[in-house]
Structure 1
Amino acid sequence: MKKLTAFLMLCGLIALAGCNTMKGAGQDIQKGGEKLENAANKHS
């Protein structure tokens, strides 16, 4: 029973870390897109 509980807790931590990582990656991509858009607007 202790092994199952530890395994489930580990899976939960990995899932939470994955969500935060994907959220951060999405924000980075969005910022990059905004910079490209601003650069395009300056040159048009």
Structure 2
Amino acid sequence: MRKLMALCALAGVVLVTGCNTMAGAGKDIEKGGEKVQGAAESVKQKM
């Protein structure tokens, strides 16, 4: 259980450090969502 908690904490630090701020993290997540949405629309048009 301690290893899992440490791994989660480390992942959180990496995410926050990589984005510099939580606002940056939100923008990164939004961009990812837009790409998924675009891919879904592309597949939808092919059907």
TM category, shorter: 0.5 to 0.7
Stretches of structure 1 that go unaligned for 5 or more consecutive residues are 29-44
Q: How many residues align?
A: 28
Identical amino acids, percent of aligned pairs: 4
Q: Under a length normalisation based on structure 2, what TM-score does the superposition of the two structures give?
A: 0.56
Question: 4+ residue runs of structure 1 moved beyond 6 angstroms?
Answer: none
Q: CA RMSD in A?
A: 1.0
Rg: which structure is higher?
1
The normalised TM-score by structure 1 is 0.59
Q: Which runs of 5+ in 2 are unaligned?
A: 1-19
